[in-house]
Structure 1
């Protein structure tokens, strides 16, 4: 059990590091919906051969796959909206950081996860750091609403993903078919919005789109595996350390300004994340 928990924590931390890279690439594209479409098309190319090898999922898994596909599609649209309205260093921490404490509590209530008081304290510190970041004036009211909606949807899809991974005969079946079904929504949304012009937009944002398309599955697949190994609240909190990497990337690559409040919030997130990892790994 301890080995499984440690493996889950390691996968969640790896997901945090790579997630910040994927989100930075999404923000760097001229059209966020186009980059989202590139990500989903890349997912299809990667998942289709594995799905053919695995075969169809069992009937009891389809409701969770469909629910996951729907929630992720709404989340991806909200994410593109959020990043179109605000600086990466403002929108990314809020979008990723509203989720830890709510995910932990809902995981206890609906999934039967067991989390002790010290881990909950660490998750609370992560959320406190997010509140510091949310209090920064660099983000508009509309941008804050967009980022908060994205964070709420992150909580929803995390719980659904965890239930799907745990209900599957094996984790690879859910993850592969999730990526395959998830590849449909964003290309359809792009063509519904832009019609034939979509091809030109895809060509224009090919570089960031393909790079983000490679990084997104590398980031999210380990998180899905982690949800089958550790409580959802623990996985969510560790993944939010991506905020720290995201702030650093925003400052160094996207040349966005970091205030003292953002730096202080990032330090709180780091402290909370280390508390969660230490207590979960050695309890």
Structure 2
């Protein structure tokens, strides 16, 4: 279980890095989503549809995932990987915990309060306390992540197969977003094929693998444990952003991303 979720973390950070590396964000997300849609359809054909009880969750998650992709796409237009990624990923567990306190009346334990404070401080450092487009889009991405994580965490357990759940989810979400972006680009007479196509296709394959692995783990382990392990991806994203993409403040953001992981672990495991 540990190996699968850590692999998913590395894979998730890697496909985000590929999306950021491709200088045309809409091209990258178009082909990433077309790829996950094709793979999703293949899995639906192979495994069949998930249980009927899971269908409403898949439909809701598809809508949320489309919003998530739009926010993330535009985040990378204005911000660095080592800034956007930890902000978006680190915010989600905080929102889920605070939402449970405000809406469901769950009491906050001292460990959760400590975790929230640690994460908030680290995220403030990454954001550099400047209200930029990248900041607001990253925060919106974090909200979308927290929403689909909760929906899928429940929905996948109602399905007979995480592969069937992931297949239908990505077929719907990836198909809608990928074809939608393609239609817009064609109307704008922008190319839909460039030399960066192999990178985008690789990003799509990694994206599917990363989330399919998480769904598999959510069927078999507590959601909090999976979430804590998954958020180690912010460290990998900071390393890639600072070392490979040559983004500024790489070392500082790496330290902050590591602190985010510590805060997330304290928050969800307490």
TM-score of the two chains, using structure 2 as the length reference: 0.85
Are residues 219 and 191 of structure 1, via their aligned partners in 2, closer, same or farther at CA, if it must alter by over 3 Å? same
| Structure 1 position 104, deviation (Å) | 4.1
The yes-or-no answer on 1:83 pairing with 2:80 is: no
For this pair of structures, how many residues does the alignment match? 270
- What RMSD in Å do the two structures reach over aligned CA positions? 3.1
Are residues 273 and 67 of structure 1, via their aligned partners in 2, closer, same or farther at CA, if it must alter by over 3 Å? closer
User: Please, which runs of 5 or more residues in structure 1 have no aligned partner?
Assistant: 1-6
Match of 2:245 among 251, 254, 261: 254
Q: Deviations over 1:167-218 (max 9, x none)?
A: 2123222122112222212222213322266772333430321121121112
Are residues 201 and 23 of structure 1, via their aligned partners in 2, closer, same or farther at CA, if it must alter by over 3 Å? same
Corresponding residue for residue 99 of structure 1: 92
Match of 2:204 among 189, 213, 224: 213
TM-score of the two chains, using structure 1 as the length reference: 0.82
Corresponding residue for residue 32 of structure 1: 25
SS of equivalent residue, structure 2 residue 182: helix
User: Please, which runs of 5 or more residues in structure 2 have no aligned partner?
Assistant: none
The farther-off stretch of 64-73 and 189-198 is 189-198
SS of equivalent residue, structure 1 residue 202: coil
Corresponding residue for residue 220 of structure 2: 229
Are residues 235 and 116 of structure 1, via their aligned partners in 2, closer, same or farther at CA, if it must alter by over 3 Å? farther
Match of 1:41 among 20, 23, 34: 34
Separation in 1 of the partners of 2:221 and 2:120?
Answer: 19
| Structure 1 position 235, deviation (Å) | 2.6
| Structure 1 position 68, deviation (Å) | 1.0
SS of equivalent residue, structure 1 residue 255: coil
The 8 Å contact of residues 72 and 182 in structure 1, kept in 2 or not, is answered as yes
Separation in 1 of the partners of 2:11 and 2:117?
Answer: 23
The farther-off stretch of 20-29 and 229-238 is 229-238
| Structure 1 position 123, deviation (Å) | 6.5
Separation in 1 of the partners of 2:146 and 2:191?
Answer: 34
The 8 Å contact of residues 24 and 250 in structure 1, kept in 2 or not, is answered as yes
Separation in 1 of the partners of 2:235 and 2:121?
Answer: 14
Corresponding residue for residue 145 of structure 1: 136
Are residues 107 and 204 of structure 1, via their aligned partners in 2, closer, same or farther at CA, if it must alter by over 3 Å? farther
The yes-or-no answer on 1:176 pairing with 2:167 is: yes
The yes-or-no answer on 1:72 pairing with 2:65 is: yes
The farther-off stretch of 118-127 and 217-226 is 118-127
